[in-house]
Structures are given as structure tokens and as C-alpha cells.
Amino acid sequence: MQKRILHNILNIVTVITVTMFFSCKNNFKEVQKIGVSENEPVGIAKDISLKYTDSAKLKAHLVSSKMLDYSNRDFAFNEFPEGINLSLFDEAGNKSTVISEYAIVYDQTNLIDLQGNVVLTTHDGNILYGEQLYYDQVKSWLFTNQPVRFNTKDQVINGNGFDSNMDFTQARVLEITGIVYLDE
């Protein structure tokens, strides 16, 4: 009789063990998310100064008072709710600046979405004004399809879009709505 009870207990333990073994899943990502809402940032940084270099040359310098890290999302991004000041350096070391009231940097696409009173000042004094501007970090290309005003030394160009490479040798206003020529 004692042998039969021991045999039944052994069978029950075996069934429970096999059930537990087959019901377990690899939920490491789920465990990482415990306590962190997907709507909340996983990190908040204040008074940041990020420098990007390539081959020991400074290419970009980003300054912001606040950054929210949403790397916990499937489409990860960093948000700059208080704006940014971005300095871009060309091969010759010339500095151009971009200032905006708000920005988002998307990790997977390497796009920076600049919004709100965007002002881009080139190293040679040209100034672009707009409400939104994108910067493709991979192609080193600036663009928008929003209304812009582009001030050069001899004219003011208004249009609905802007396209430019990083050194502004291919800068152009799209769908020009007006040009004002300035007297020298």
C-alpha cells in the first residue's frame, strides 16, 4: 500500500513538472517592461550636450535642456520637449546652426524631426525660417514640405518646401511663392 501511495505521488509530481516545463515561455522582454509603462520614458536627461565625431572630427553638437528616452517602444525615439540647439560642421570645419522649440530623433530611421520656430543659420550667413524641418543623419540631408523663408545676402525667397545637402551647395527653396531682391 505504501508503495502504491509513493507511486501515485511520484506520478502527480511528474505531471506537474511536465506541465510547468511546457507552459514556460521566454518572456524576457515582458519582464523588462514590468514597472515601466510604454507611454512613459525609460529615462530623462537634463542639460545635455552630445557631440558626434567621425575620424576625430567634430560633425555635430547637440545641446538641450531636456531629453526623454523612449527606447522601450517598438519604434524607439528620443524626444526634446524643450527644444534643441544643433551645430553642424562640414568637412572644412564651417559651423551651421539649427534651433527649434521641439525635436524628435528616431533611432531606426536616423531622422531628426525639428518643429516650432525652426531657424537654420548657415556658415556663410544664409538663414532659413520654418515651422518644421527634417534632418536625415545617414544622407546628411535637410528637407521639408512646409512653408519656409530663406534669406540670402541678396534676396528673400518664400516657398513651400526646402531641400539641401549639409554644406548648402545644393540648397533650394521648393514651390517658390515669392522673391524679394535686396539692394546692396
pTM of the model: 0.74
Question: Which residue segment(s) compose the domain that 163 sits in?
Answer: 39-181
- 2 φ, ψ (degrees, to nearest 5): -65, -35
Contact of 164 with 171, CB cutoff 8 Å: yes
For position 131, which CATH number holds? Answer: 2.60.450.10
pLDDT at 29 over 80: no
pLDDT at 33 over 60: no
Does residue 76 lie within any of the structural domains?
A: yes
Comparison of pLDDT for 116 and 168, the residue scoring more: 116
Contact of 64 with 83, CB cutoff 8 Å: yes
| pLDDT tens for each residue of 71-85 | 988 899 999 999 999
What is the total count of domains within the chain?
1
Most confident residue range from 27-31, 32-36, 176-180: 176-180
pLDDT at 52 over 70: yes
Does residue 105 lie within any of the structural domains?
A: yes
